[in-house]
Every structure is written in C-alpha cells, then in structure tokens.
Chains A and B, each alone.
Chain A
Amino acid sequence: MDIPSDRSEVVFQDFKAAFTPAQAVTEANRCLFCADAPCVQACPTEIEIPQFIRKIATGNLKGSARTIFDSNILGMSCARVCPVEVLCAGACVYNHRGEEPIAIGKLQRYATDEAFAKGWRFFTAGKATGKSVGLVGAGPASLAAAHELRRRGHAVTIYDKRKVVGGLNTTGVAPYKMKSDRSLDEVRYVLGIGGIEVKTGVEVTDFVALQKQHDAIFIGVGLGADSKLGIPGEDRTHGAVEMIEKLKLGRVAFDKTKPAVVVGGGNTALDAVRELKGLGIDNVTLVYRGQEPSMSGYQHEWAAAKLENVRAQWQTQPVAYEGGVLKCVKLDAAKKAIAGSDFAVPAELVLVAIGQAKLAVPGLKVEKGCIVADENGATSVRGVFTGGDCMNGGKEVVNAAAEGKRAAIAIDKFLGGK
C-alpha cells in the first residue's frame, strides 16, 4: 500500500481550500437548518446535512463527524470529490434567493478532517454472525459495503487486483480535489473498524466460484480500460484514466513546451486537461465531437478549465494521429463529418478520454455491459450482489458509497439479519 512521496500529483494545490475554524463557523451559521432539506434529498447517501452543519455551529464537531459517517463512511473523500454543485449545494434553498449556496462540501471536509486528525472513531463491529462475505474490488463501493457488513457482524474479505486499495479514489480523482495518500488515509480509517481482510494483487475471474469460499459475494469492480478511438496512430496515444493513474501513483514526464490534446467531453476529459495544465503544459486543447452546452462533463468543471486557459475544438472528430498532429474533421449537428473540413491540431501528447470499457463478469446477467441488479444490488445469481460503477455504468464516488451500503444491508438480510 506504499506509494512514493515524489509523485507527479504532489504539485497540485487544493482547488477548494480547506476552511479555517472561523470560516467554518461563519458558514455553518449561515445554514438555515431546513426541514425536509433539499440538500439531504440530493445526497445519494442522505447525510443529515443540516444537523451536521448545526453541530459545527454549536462547537459539537465530534457529533458533526458522527452524523456524516453514520450515513456515509466515505464522507471525508466525498467532501472533497463530490460534484456538490449538482448535488447538495446545487439543491440548497439559497439558490432560490439568488445567494451563494452553503459550502456543504467544505463544511463536511472540515468536520471529517477533524475526525481523522483527532482519531475519533464512532462505530464498532457487530456481534459475530459466523457468516462471511467476499467483496471483489477495493473501491468506494466495496469499502462502504465492507464497513456496513462489519457493523452487522459479518466476516469480510476484500480482493483487489491492484496493489493499491481505494479504487479510483486513489488512482483516478483529480489531485486538486484529493491526492492518493489522502484516499489511503480513508481506507485505513474504514478498515479501523477491524476484521476486514484485504487481499491485494488478487484478480478474481470467476465470481460465481468465489461463492464456494463465502456465504455471499459483492462485486464492486468498477469499469475497465479506457475506450479506443480506432484511428491510425492510436498506439502512440494514451488512455486518460491510465495516464491519470500514473501521475497519481508515480511520476510522469512531458515536454511542457509542446502542445497536448485531450479527446473527449466528459468529466475525465475535463480532469485531464486541468491536470496537464497543472503539470505545466502551456498549450492544452480539448477535442470534442459535440457542442459546448451539450458536453457530458459538468459545466462548473469546464468553467474552471476555461479559467486555466484550456482551449477547445467543438464538433471535432479525430481521424488519425501522425507526425505530431491530430488530424480531424468537423462534424455537423447530426455528428456527420462535413466534407472538406479536414484540419490538424498540433499534438505531441494525446490523451483519449472517451469512456471506459465494461469489465467482463462471466455468469452474471448484464445489459449494455452493466451488471443487472435490483434496487438493493441483488444480481441474477442468488447470493451475489453488486454496486458502484460496474452496476450503474459509471457515476460518482458517492453513488458507489450509497449503493455499497445499500447492498450490504440487503446482504445482511440475505444472511438472516434483521
């Protein structure tokens, strides 16, 4: 679980700075303590946001952290990586008054950082049930599930094919939100409940066969490798997620004076352009086949990228990568190539961020590559549950945390709990 200290990501500063105690108390006192609060409804893990904020205002920080972790044991990372602009803060009633919404993410960070710093722990393992659950993948979905299963007294083993744990929270999220060492702090905090065995470097290939060793299985394997463009010269491009993992866990070296291109219009692409900028590359261009307003990446993320002078080519489709340029054509509104519109974007470095492949899950029913499950995460195979990106097709950490916990409650029922 060791990672080097000279990782490329360490040069990044927090995009949203931590609150000082005075700032936190001032902001907490702005909260109206709404009832049936829209922020709570907008949070997939349904944290009692007004309560945890009120507790910051009264100086009951420990209670504040307890409220957060009781709903979401990954509350520390969520505070940093959640797109609060479209979740809790986006729903804050202040928006309807034309005023800044409460900085819920920053307040949540304030309380959970304090809990980590002071070593406050709130939950203990339940009475041993004698049942055992195997969880595949050590990402947010499995970690949330494992913690809930321990609270309910089940023995838990997590398998991950990687050497590092934490899933994309460790290997993927933008370093200006959270660096990998902080994700590992969180994993340690979650494992602190005791009795969670973690086996790294173990790739599970036969999920159904794993049932022989456990009374129930949870699959939280996330998504697979970066998708490909299928163009000539692609072998000299890099998958964005793969490159992000490298810069987060080790060192990458680029010629900062040479132009770079990121292909895609989703959040991974928007992270990638800002990461290249942050690593010192001057000229970074986003190449996207759709139009600006319809990109799948969040507008608030794109606004931040624009502030960092990222350029963009809209309605643009790469056709080949050769001789230091990405050859492209322009697309019309129906995404059809416009004849004679060929042009070239200079690019010494090309990252492809057009999505991730779905992983194979033999023996389980899938639809469009996603594992099919009911609202509690129960798959087509009895005793096998799932949650997170491999089920939802790729959402946020907080969705994985919510789905992992929900599946754990269903697994507990399946194993005879109340």
Chain B
Amino acid sequence: MPNLQANTGGIISPNPFWLASAPPTNSGPQIMRAFDAGWGGAVWKTLGVPIQNVSSRFGGLNVGTKRAVGFNNIELITDRPLESNFKEIYEVKKRYPKHAVIVSLMVETEQEWKEIIKRSIDAGADGLELNFGCPHGMCERGMGSAVGQEPKVNERITSWAVHYSTVPVLVKLTPNVSDIRPHGLAAKRGGAHGVSLINTIKSIIGVDIDRFIPEPRVAGLSTNGGYCGAAVKPIALHMCASLARERDFGIPISGIGGVSNWRDAVEFILLGSSSVQVCTEVMLRGYRVVEDMIEGLTEYMTTHGFETIDQMVGKAVPQYSEWGDLDMNYETVAKIDADKCIGCHLCLVACDDGAHQCIHPGENVMKNGMAVNVPKIDESECVGCNLCQIVCPVEGCIDMVAVANGHKPATWNQHVSEGAKLRHKKGSH
C-alpha cells in the first residue's frame, strides 16, 4: 500500500487532497463533514474584514449536455464574523488534529496582517495561505490580485506574514498575469514556504442575449468574475509546471484549478504539486468525490511503483521543455484501425477543413449488415498534427504512429546554432 501522506512546505496532511478556499470551506461543520468524507486538508474560506456579497453570484459554462464544465463567480471573501471563524477553526483542529487546516487571509495593513495571523495561529492553523489572487471586488480595494500582480508588493506582504507567523506560509497566486514566474519568485524572496496556484481567471461567463446583460445578473447589471472548474486545468497545469521547472524557484506548490478526479490530481503532482486543491468539483457534486480521488491515486501509485507522494512530485517536469529543444525530426502519422472505425468521417472533414487535406474516403467494410466507409490516410501528406485523433469518437481507433525516417534527432536550436539537418517539410506545398 503506498503512503499518501503529503508535505507541502511543512504542512502535513494524511493525503494530498485539500479543499480550496471557497464556499466548501466556509464553516467548521462543513469542513468536519469533508474530513469525514476523506479530505486530507482544507484551506479555510479567506478571512479578512467580513464583506457583503451580491446575488446572484455564480455562472456556469455548459457544453452540449455537460453542465458547468467551466464556472465563474463574483463572490468575495468570508462574510462571517471573524470570531465565529476562529472558534470553528479551533473546534475543527481539536477534533481532527491530523488533518491540515490552512487559514486563508486577506487584509491590508501590516498591523492587520500581524493581528489576523496571530489569531489564526492561536486558533490552531497548521499553515497560512495569503490570498493574493481574487480577481474581482477585492482588487479594487487594493487587495487580492492587485497584490498578486505586483511582485514588489507581493514580496513585502509575504515577508510581513512570514515574520509574524510561526507556521508555514503559502502564497496563493493569481493567474491574471502574463508570466507567473516573477510572482512565484517574489513570494519566494518574501520567505514563503510554498505557493498555491491558481486562483480564478478574470472572465465573463456569458451574456443574457434577451436582456442584453452579461451573466451572472445582479438586478440590471453584471461584472467580470473569476473563472474556474474543469475547463481551466490546462492553464493551471502550465503555471504549475512553469514554476516547478524554474531553477531559482524550488519551493513547494499546492496545485489548484480544474481538479475533478484522480487523474487530474496525478497530472498536477507529476508537474510539481505536492498537494492539490479542489473547489468547483466539490461545489458541483459534493465532498463525496474524494473517495474516487483517493482510490484512483492509490491504484495509480501501486501500478507505477510509487511508495510515497514525494517520489511522484515533479516526475513529468524534466520532460516539459522549450519548443526550440523539441526533436524536429521526430515524425508521426495517423493510422486508422479499420476494425474500430464506425464511418463517421469526422476525421476526414477535420483534416480537409482544419488541417492538411490528407484523409480521403476509403474502402467499404461491412459492419452490422451495413457498408461502413473507412477513410484512408495519405501518409505521405500527413503532418502528424493529431487533429483526426482528437475528433475521433472511438477510443483507440486512430493512433499516431512514429515513422522511422532515418533522420537523426535535431532540434530547432541545434539547427540554428549548429546547422543540424532537418527532415523534409511535409505538407508545405
């Protein structure tokens, strides 16, 4: 049995699955139910000067019959009195001493940071998370992403927090920047023990086209909100990996953004996360999703021979490289498995209109008493772009197969600097 215990900058949790700071971590009773369901840690809903929220405040992006593959919110930090929150943090820690309770914080002045940090630690926090990420409402007040977008301010506030804290400090970064690295490095310079990323992405989730009002609608107006959920995972993975492979960075990452199942979690861990945080999937389906996450991760670790989470963290990072270091002479072509093909020709139209016009009608094969036309691929023209494989509705029907073209590996950088020979350009006539 692999050991699922996770260590994120000194914050220890029985497994790497944490609830992200958000409505699922709004109160003690909720977090206790979540720990009972199996969550290893929880980042408390951001504390600060309690705010007042609007209604409505969420929006969902539906794709076909799938509801809310992307999610957006215009909610702010906690609206509950600080006393209630601290009392409940104390109760949770008393009843669940082995689980990680991280308190998310967002205030303005050094004095305020000092006070709220002391109260959080007195209540039993195992760690702090500085919310430099919220992209709406709070930044207009000089907090949240207004801090996360300004490395100097980030570093200064981080150093205050680290100074006043006796427990590990994570800095939660905003993705609303063009390059995440200066912001992660600023947190590191400030003395942070790790970073959490990503917070939500500035967005407008949709427009009510009959009322001419963006969504979510608050009376007759709307505002931009924070985008999250399954759809944001690729953005989050990139930011996680960017920091993980940054030589000067080197502090732990708690990965967030679109984690919906154990596979997503494995991806974040392989790209450098020591723990993962989940918000939207829990908001949509409940704490119970963690059961499959734990089982799936355990099984994955067992089949791949990982005994601890540490052995997995960052395993895929070395394989994340610059474009210029990719082997230009590596060549693949698409192959269609005629036994599996159902004759939809989605690959054909995709290649015709969206790629290199090298899939053509092929031979008819009898299936279930009907003639199924299996397209054929002109391999001399196929550029190996994957588009056909991506649109194919049948798992394993189109395979991208490596071609032995006799060329030695050569990268673009080698080509430019040393004149390394590149293979003939395909499909460029």
Which residues of A are interface residues toward B (Cβ below 8 A)? 21-22, 25, 33, 35, 51, 54-55, 58-60, 62-63, 66
Contacts and interface: CB of A to CB of B under 8 A. Distances in A.
A21 B395 CA distance: 9
Interface in B281-324: 285-286, 288-289, 291-292, 295-296, 299
Contacts of A66: 295
Interface string B253-297: 000000001110000000000000000000001101101100110
Contacts of A35: 286, 288
A55 B297 CA distance: 12
30 contacts: A21-B395, A22-B394, A22-B395, A25-B395, A33-B285, A35-B288, A51-B288, A51-B292, A54-B289, A54-B292, A55-B292, A55-B295, A55-B296, A58-B261, A58-B262, A58-B263, A58-B292, A58-B296, A59-B296, A60-B262, A60-B292, A60-B295, A60-B296, A62-B295, A62-B299, A63-B292, A63-B295, A63-B296, A63-B299, A66-B295
Interface centre among A22, A25, A60 (most CB of B within 10 A): A60
B299 A60 contact: yes
Nearest to A33: B285
A207 B319 CA distance: 69
B177 to A, nearest CB: 32
A60 B260 CA distance: 14
A57 to B, nearest CB: 8
Contacts of B263: 58-59
A324 to B, nearest CB: 42
Contacts of B295: 55, 60, 62-63, 66
Contacts of A54: 289, 292
A369 B70 CA distance: 60
A163 B263 CA distance: 48
Interface centre among B263, B285, B289, B292 (most CB of A within 10 A): B292
Contacts of B285: 33
Contacts of B289: 54
Contacts of A51: 288, 291-292
Contacts of A59: 263, 296
A62 B292 CA distance: 10
Given A60-B262, A66-B295, 8 more contacts: A21-B395, A54-B292, A55-B292, A55-B296, A58-B262, A60-B295, A60-B299, A62-B295
B396 to A, nearest CB: 9
A60 B292 CA distance: 7
A24 to B, nearest CB: 11
Contacts of B394: 22
B284 to A, nearest CB: 9
Contacts of B286: 35
B280 to A, nearest CB: 14
B83 to A, nearest CB: 32
A21 B396 CA distance: 11
A111 to B, nearest CB: 13
Instruction: Give the 9 A-B residue pairs with the shortest CB-CB distance, closest first.
Output: A63-B295, A60-B296, A58-B261, A55-B292, A60-B292, A22-B395, A33-B285, A60-B295, A58-B292
B208 to A, nearest CB: 25
Nearest to B286: A35
A93 B295 CA distance: 27
B24 to A, nearest CB: 14
B133 to A, nearest CB: 28
Nearest to A35: B286
A58 B299 CA distance: 12
A47 to B, nearest CB: 14
Contacts of A62: 295, 299
Nearest to A58: B261
Contacts of B296: 55, 58-60, 63
Nearest to A54: B292
